[in-house]
Structure 1
């Protein structure tokens, strides 16, 4: 059973940890790729995609 706030749509994203999901585009071309998702601390649902920020180099 999900927590009450998650059932209402108010998730608590954990910004320190993320889940890496690996997918394949097609068998012919063999293009694997991965996407990083931020997940909810309470229920574990994937909330949104995360993009790691690169530091600017001068």
Structure 2
């Protein structure tokens, strides 16, 4: 089983920003919270200028 978290922004291609894998549902129940926690930490530590790193200019 594999779960990917995609980021889609207007005018940009979707990008995989995280993924979790597991062979069983119990493994996924462990992997998913860790994945989401890591993404939340990244978002909370973002650059306060509002710029998206590595984003192509409009």
Instruction: Give the TM-score taking structure 2 as reference length.
Output: 0.28
Bigger RCO (CA 8 Å, 6+ sep): 1
Higher strand share: 1
When normalised by structure 1's length, the TM-score is 0.28
